Amino acid sequence: GAGVSQTPSNKVTEKGKYVELRCDPISGHTALYWYRQSLGQGPEFLIYFQGTGAADDSGLPNDRFFAVRPEGSVSTLKIQRTERGDSAVYLCASSLSGTSTGELFFGEGSRLTVL
Amino acid sequence: DAKTTQPNSMESNEEEPVHLPCNHSTISGTDYIHWYRQLPSQGPEYVIHGLTSNVNNRMASLAIAEDRKSSTLILHRATLRDAAVYYCILREAGAGSYQLTFGKGTKLSVIP
């Protein structure tokens, strides 16, 4: 498909485990964003990539969270030593370029449940 | 980022127009006004954006007050598919204008 693809759509894990969430952006989009959304809240910014580099990681809550985009396309969000409070929907978005008018295209999200 | 204020929820009858308000009294001169919506169990989707002038597209219209301290998203004829959470977001122009800061939005219910 032509949209942003996220896998897995659902992930259930146990407290303390390691988790990877994958985002496949729209082809040719240089800007990629990760957001986290808790129930009843709006999406919360985590990190932004322009190409391969993380241009802004100020939204990552702590050092258990890390994201990479090694070839400037697919990105992986990595969460170490998961906690119950990490349970949320993790959304990925891409944009042709990171500008004030550029439209963000979101995936359907990966729902993470930490037991 | 400048803050926006929206009602928590609104209701509309199907096939009626809907006016979704947004207050942004601390908007700066270079802030763009963006609207996104989020249907149940989906990621947000772009609706419309503007700077000073009113804007129209196939999905909606955006009416911006002359002083830019408020705006209104207009759905001309609500359908059941328009039931969603609508987010009004200010996005700074220039350096660092890359991310969207979402609030809680307005949950729109459409009554058949």
Question: What is the pLDDT at residue B95?
Answer: 57
In the numeric block, the tokens 């400037």 are attached to: A72
Low-confidence ranges of chain A (pLDDT < 70): 1
Question: What is the pLDDT at residue B7?
Answer: 97
**Among chain B residues, CA nearest to A45:** B101
Question: What is the pLDDT at residue B2?
Answer: 62
Task: Report CB contact under 8 Å: B102, A105.
Answer: no
The answer on pLDDT for B1 being more than 60 is no
Rounded average pLDDT over B69-74: 97
Question: What is the pLDDT at residue A33?
Answer: 95
Question: Which residues of chain B from 56 to 95 reach within 8 Å of chain A, CB to CB?
Answer: 85, 87, 91-94
Task: Report CB contact under 8 Å: B100, A45.
Answer: yes
Chain B residues whose beta carbon lies within 8 Å of the beta carbon of residue A93: 43-44
End-to-end CA distance of chain B, in Å? 37
Question: pLDDT band at residue B34, thresholds of 50, 70 and 90?
Answer: very high
Question: pLDDT band at residue B77, thresholds of 50, 70 and 90?
Answer: very high
Q: Which helix (H) or strand (E) holds B110?
A: strand B106-111
Across the interface, of A41, A50, A108, the residue whose CB is closest to B42 is: A108
Question: pLDDT band at residue B29, thresholds of 50, 70 and 90?
Answer: confident
Nearest CA-CA distance, residue B43 and chain A, Å: 5
Instruction: Work out the number of other CB atoms within 10 angstroms of the CB of residue B104.
Output: 12
Question: What is the pLDDT at residue A102?
Answer: 82
Question: pLDDT band at residue B40, thresholds of 50, 70 and 90?
Answer: very high
Q: Which helix (H) or strand (E) holds A92?
A: strand A88-95
Question: What is the pLDDT at residue A23?
Answer: 98
Question: pLDDT band at residue B64, thresholds of 50, 70 and 90?
Answer: very high
Selection from B67, B85, B19 nearest residue A42 by Cα: B85
In the numeric block, the tokens 């119950």 are attached to: A84
**Among chain A residues, CA nearest to B87:** A42
B42 to chain A, any CB pair closer than 8 A? The answer is: yes
